[in-house]
Chain A
């Protein structure tokens, strides 16, 4: 009886934390939306420098999109493995998600370095500032996600798939999938319209 109430108390705590995490995600959604709005306002403020059509490349955007979407579904496979507490399968899928996320980040950094080398750096114009802030903020979130996946792997190896691990894993999943949603906005508002015009 005592352990049962202790257990349900713990479950309630995890639910509260998940709700709190949702509130954080929504506040993050507001930040990103305002960065999108800033980008839209700055769209033509190129100050004679390179504009969207000059700096966007469709193949790069397509590969980045594919990497992030695959990282989302491989994370889902880790969640499926957690359902049956298959520890090694969770580790493998988390590892694959980490590598896909790292691949995405590597491409983005490579893209940024290339742009800066061509003179399309953030200080060149209001347009480029808003581009780097928006896409860079998303990249910073992916970096945080990678650190979090690494800590999840460490925790899983130490404690195994406990309730506490599962609760944290669930919040990590919300974060990871949320980043993919932000990316939908980025390719739909930044990359595709940039290539179209």
Chain B
């Protein structure tokens, strides 16, 4: 470890930071599921919120996505993916659950 450069050390600490946050954000939803302290609806909402936070943590610490230093092309790419996801996933769920409700 004595041969490690400063830059490598910063990088390693970032991975450790990301890993620590990821462990916390994983253990809490598993504990909520196993413990049964919240009602299922509240537990589901908490799991969903923690998942979104954890995805952001992984993007920042593991995929090194730095939103302050990102190129315009990458912003467009991410925004376009977001729009497609919103339309296709949101649209599918809307149509299918609406259909499901009407078939009851």
Contacts and interface: CB of A to CB of B under 8 A. Distances in A.
Contact of A195 (B4, B26, B33): B33
Contacts of B55: 181, 184-185
A192 B30 contact: yes
Interface string A157-197: 00000000000000001100110110011011100110111
Interface stretch (A6-14, A73-81, A96-104, A115-123): A73-81
Contacts of A84: 3-5, 8
Interface stretch (A33-41, A105-113, A139-147, A148-156): A33-41
Nearest to B85: A33
B27 to A, nearest CB: 9
B81 to A, nearest CB: 4
Secondary structure of the A contact surface, majority rule: helix
Interface string A11-35: 0000000010011001001100110
A129 to B, nearest CB: 15
Interface in B23-62: 23, 26, 29-30, 32-34, 40, 43-44, 47-48, 50-51, 54-55, 58-59, 62
Interface residues of B, number: 48
B58 A180 contact: yes
A46 interface: no
A1 to B, nearest CB: 27
Nearest to A195: B33
Contact of A26 (B54, B81, B97): B81
Q: Which 3 A-B pairs have the closest CB atoms?
A: A76-B15, A188-B51, A177-B62
Interface of A: 19, 22-23, 26, 29-30, 33-34, 36-38, 40-41, 58, 61-62, 65-66, 69, 72-73, 76-77, 79-81, 83-84, 86, 173-174, 177-178, 180-181, 184-185, 187-189, 192-193, 195-197
